[in-house]
């Protein structure tokens, strides 16, 4: 437990009378890709919201590298090294692709009101270095030709790739992807899988919330299974096939072939 990057203990959250998350406990080690799976209404997205500060739990504890996250604002948690996505891509629509990535570089110090006014030239020079890095990232995700387009003009698939390019530009320690495969065709899906593996290869920790079990099997080193707000199993994907609670939660779905 002590070497875990993210430790969640007894996390509970209810909306009105509905227990979205109940006494949820699991941990994710540093490095590698972890899957968070479960049927609709299992509480996966609520857990993501609570971890990233977009919701306040009723009780429990969430630690990122030992630091308690509960009560912190989303932006504070993000600055600790966590980047999360949402179920639909949330690009900054009327900004250009390159501006989307420059924002993801997160030079917070240069965004101060006074620095922006007083040190315009110095900031511009610093940004030039960032632009070089950002152009490389755009190349990697096949968006280089679109860099000066407004993000709103991109197709659905390009917006997904922009989301991943932004994460790459942000260089976070922990990445949480909320259903990255939603509405994605197989070719783009393979590309997203590659991007996830590459994040892991760079030493980042990735948590993937997903319904697409073949994707989880291909991409994840270990899996956490939730149902009705509780964690019902945790371990490598292959070990879950025989688990009766997991089979019951997925209504007898053949886990081997999704």
Partner 1 sequence: MYWVSIVTEAGIFAILALGLDVIWGWAGDFDLMFYGYLALGSYMTFVLTIGKPTPPVEYIIGGHLPVLVSMVVAIAVVVAFAAIIGAIALRNLREIYFAVTTLGAVSALYLIVENYTPLFDGYNGVYGLINPGQTALNLTYNGYRILLLVVVLLLLALAYLLVQRLSRSPFGRMLRSVREDERAAAAYGRNVFFSKYRAYLFGAAFAGLAGGLFAIFVSAFNPSAWTPQELLVIYAAILVGGRGNPRGVILGVFVIYIGLIELTRFLPSPASRPDFGPALRQVLIGLMIILMLRFRPQGFFPERPGVDPGPRPAGRRPWRLRVPAMAASSDTAAASPATTPASPEAASARQAADEGGAG
Rule CB under 8 A: which residues touch partner 1?
A: 52-54, 73-75, 78-79, 83-86, 90-96, 98-99, 102-104, 106-108, 110-113, 115-117, 120, 123, 127, 131, 135, 141-150, 152-155, 157-158, 161, 166, 170, 185-188, 190-191
Q: Which residues of 115-139 are buried (b: 16+ CB within 10 A; e: fewer)?
A: eeeeeeeebeeeeeebeeebeebbe
Nearest approach, Cβ of 184 to partner 1 (angstroms)?
10
Q: Which residue, 24 or 83, is less far from partner 1 as judged by CB?
A: 83
> Are the beta carbons of 188 and 215 closer than 8 angstroms?
no
Q: In DSSP terms, which residues pair with 32 in a beta bridge? A: 205
Three-state secondary-structure class, residue 83:
strand
CA distance 81 to 101: 17
**In 10 A of CB 233, how many CB atoms?**
19
Nearest approach, Cβ of 209 to partner 1 (angstroms)?
15
Q: Which residue, 2 or 148, is less far from partner 1 as judged by CB?
A: 148
Q: Which residue, 77 or 225, is less far from partner 1 as judged by CB?
A: 77
Nearest approach, Cβ of 64 to partner 1 (angstroms)?
14
Q: Which residue, 38 or 172, is less far from partner 1 as judged by CB?
A: 172
Q: Which residue, 70 or 247, is less far from partner 1 as judged by CB?
A: 70
Nearest approach, Cβ of 82 to partner 1 (angstroms)?
9
Nearest approach, Cβ of 244 to partner 1 (angstroms)?
37
Nearest approach, Cβ of 224 to partner 1 (angstroms)?
22
Per-residue three-class SS string for 233-254: EEECHHHHCCCHHHHHHCCCCC
CA distance 17 to 47: 17
Q: Give CA separation, 174 vs 46, 49, 137, 154, 252, in Å.
A: 17, 14, 18, 27, 33
Nearest approach, Cβ of 49 to partner 1 (angstroms)?
10
Q: Which residue, 150 or 247, is less far from partner 1 as judged by CB?
A: 150
Q: Which residue, 168 or 246, is less far from partner 1 as judged by CB?
A: 168
In the chain, how many H helices and how many E strands? 9, 10
Place of tokens 């609520």: 46
Helices (H), 141-257: 156-170, 186-201, 213-219, 244-249
């Amino acid at each position: 437990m002590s070497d875990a990057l993210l430790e969640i203990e007894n996390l509970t959250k209810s909306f009105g009378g509905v227990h979205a998350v109940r006494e949820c406990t699991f941990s994710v080690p540093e490095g590698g890709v972890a899957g968070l799976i479960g049927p609709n209404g299992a509480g996966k997205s609520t857990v993501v919201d609570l971890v990233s500060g977009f919701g306040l739990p009723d009780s429990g504890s969430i630690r990122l590298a030992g630091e308690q996250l509960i009560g912190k604002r989303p932006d504070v948690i993000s600055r600790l090294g966590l980047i999360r996505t949402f179920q639909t891509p949330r690009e900054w629509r009327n900004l250009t692709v390159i501006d989307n990535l420059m924002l993801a570089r997160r030079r917070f110090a240069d965004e101060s009101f006074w620095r922006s006014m007083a040190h315009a030239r110095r900031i511009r020079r610093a940004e030039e270095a960032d632009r070089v890095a950002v152009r490389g990232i755009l190349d990697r995700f096949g968006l280089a030709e679109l860099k000066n387009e407004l993000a709103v003009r991109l197709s659905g698939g390009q917006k997904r790739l922009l989301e991943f390019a932004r994460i790459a530009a942000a260089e976070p320690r922990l990445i949480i992807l909320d259903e990255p495969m939603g509405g994605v065709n197989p070719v783009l899906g393979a590309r997203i899988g590659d991007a996830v593996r590459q994040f892991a290869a760079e030493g980042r920790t990735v948590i993937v919330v997903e319904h697409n079990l073949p994707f989880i099997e291909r991409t994840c080193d270990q899996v956490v299974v939730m149902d009705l707000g509780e964690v019902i199993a945790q371990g490598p994907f292959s070990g879950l096939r025989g688990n009766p609670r997991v089979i019951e939660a997925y209504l007898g779905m053949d886990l081997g072939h999704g």
